Chain A
């Protein structure tokens, strides 16, 4: 499935919720389902410090694909991370660089990606794109 197809799929999943609390209930479930990053890997170089919640991103390029895992100390942040990982994991750096991340705003969560929200998510997306770019440059 392409990045675009995955984004479409997530938008469809969220279309059934018309209540904010139901939407967040789903995000919280996603957060609980996301595998934890091993605490030995929660090192400072993987930490994206936010003012509110902290995000750890473990990413590497493997056989031409970017492989991602991430974690957060806040469960809602973690749920949104789960969505971002689903979209970007196992995609080529080229596809990631080309992609337009639009599903977050379409499902009404754009506030979480605002840099002023300081939950580390905006920095996480930036970091993923930068990794993809530097992989392309090699």
Chain B
């Protein structure tokens, strides 16, 4: 086994780790293909949540007593696990947030304070609303210019157009690592290199990548990387912002409160050091600790092996869907993973989704919080199946049969 793996990947075995997968809905075996929305949790994480609230519950960073010290050290240990997982240089660069959206809003608000009217921010046409709206709000507040990298029909960024948008006025580029609606893996190396060449910083939305591909923020050389715990087999309500230390130092605090201060008088407050400067108030302690557990669960495996397995599932599902004459795949990027989005001619995605649900298959239908992207394709939405490494080819076969049955009922 390679890359520090201690456990050979066997889908039959690892499915046993996820109790949620062993259930029936509407009398059918559950097939969970909504991993883009959230992932199921392994028993290890469920046990850790139970252990924390049963035995270790205490507030952190302030108590003199045993439990508080235990909770604090577990929470800080989780921060270290996260640092190692994304290979950040320093623990101080790992900020706990509520999730990806919270991380983006933190950067938009706090980094945004450093920007001047006329400065430019670049996002892409395939962004999730959470990587659009915070920038629009900031642009309105600070009179900035927001530019959008266009895409081609396959759902790939037009890099030439992107390069033409860049100028010394560009201060930040905010792009998804992997598109939640299309599965496109964006060429971050080229995006980041070009942005840095004009002195712009880059925020990478890793909500859809952290669970599917090895992330190394030093190799990537991004300035900010954000992700959510719940999409990477951890709890909801916890997420991570990685930022380069020099930038985080420069940025003003996001929220005021306890934990983020070093000294408070009514006249003035001096702020705490990183990472606490950005962590006001009692955090989601259990969430942080158990996100660490989720990453430790993943650390057992060779990430390359999981990645290849998921790519195979994606390709297989795509090939099977391509055999339907009346199905159009939305998002056919040459480099993609874990998401297949499609529409059926003359049939509303909602109808297909409802019938799949009644056959025990969980997919998502609609615009997937990417309305501008749906406008680009001139569709109201898609049916999206999104995979995790616990899914199987057999499940895809059942899904395809269920799609076929749904179409024949609706057609």
Contact = CB atoms under 8 A, between A and B. Distances in A.
A10 interface: no
A75 B358 contact: no
A43 B67 CA distance: 63
A21 B26 CA distance: 10
A28 B410 contact: yes
Contacts of B405: 21
A28 B409 contact: yes
A82 B409 CA distance: 18
A21 B359 CA distance: 8
Contacts of B26: 20
B95 to A, nearest CB: 31
A109 B353 CA distance: 15
B358 A74 contact: no
Contacts of A74: 348, 350-351
A25 B409 contact: yes
B182 to A, nearest CB: 19
A95 interface: no
A24 B358 contact: yes
A25 B347 CA distance: 15
Interface residues of A, number: 15
Contacts of A25: 409
B32 to A, nearest CB: 18
A76 B366 contact: no
A7 interface: no
A49 to B, nearest CB: 11
Interface in A38-73: 51-54, 73
A76 B410 CA distance: 9
A77 interface: yes
B354 A24 contact: yes
Nearest to A23: B358
A52 B358 contact: no
B365 interface: yes
Contact of B365 (A28, A52, A77): A52
Interface string B127-160: 0000000000000000000000000000000000
Interface in B331-379: 347-351, 353-355, 358-359, 365-367
A20 B351 contact: no
Contacts of B349: 52
Nearest to A74: B348
B348 A73 contact: yes
A25 B408 CA distance: 10
Nearest to A53: B350
Contacts of B206: none
A135 B353 CA distance: 38
Contacts of B183: none
B381 interface: yes
A119 interface: yes
A52 B409 contact: no
A51 B366 contact: yes
A21 B350 CA distance: 15
B380 interface: yes
Q: Which of B347, B381, B409 has the most CB of A within 10 A?
A: B409
A88 to B, nearest CB: 23
B378 to A, nearest CB: 14
Interface in B1-28: 26-27
Contact of A76 (B354, B359, B381): B354
A76 B347 CA distance: 10
A52 B410 contact: no
Interface in B363-411: 365-367, 380-381, 405, 409-410
B350 A119 contact: yes
Given A25-B409, A75-B410, A53 B348 contact: yes
B351 A76 contact: yes
B116 to A, nearest CB: 37
Given A28-B410, A52-B365, A75 B355 contact: no
Contacts of A53: 348, 350
Given A52-B365, A119-B350, A73 B380 contact: yes
A76 B353 CA distance: 11
Contacts of A77: 348, 350-351
Contacts of B354: 24, 76
Given A51-B367, A52-B366, 20 more contacts: A20-B27, A21-B355, A21-B359, A24-B358, A24-B409, A28-B410, A51-B366, A52-B349, A52-B353, A52-B365, A52-B381, A54-B380, A73-B380, A74-B348, A74-B350, A75-B347, A75-B348, A76-B350, A76-B354, A77-B348
14 contacts: A20-B27, A21-B355, A21-B359, A21-B409, A24-B354, A24-B355, A28-B410, A73-B348, A73-B380, A74-B350, A75-B347, A75-B348, A76-B351, A76-B354
Interface of B: 26-27, 347-351, 353-355, 358-359, 365-367, 380-381, 405, 409-410
Which 5 residue pairs across A and B have the least CB separation, nearest first?
A74-B348, A20-B358, A74-B350, A52-B350, A53-B350
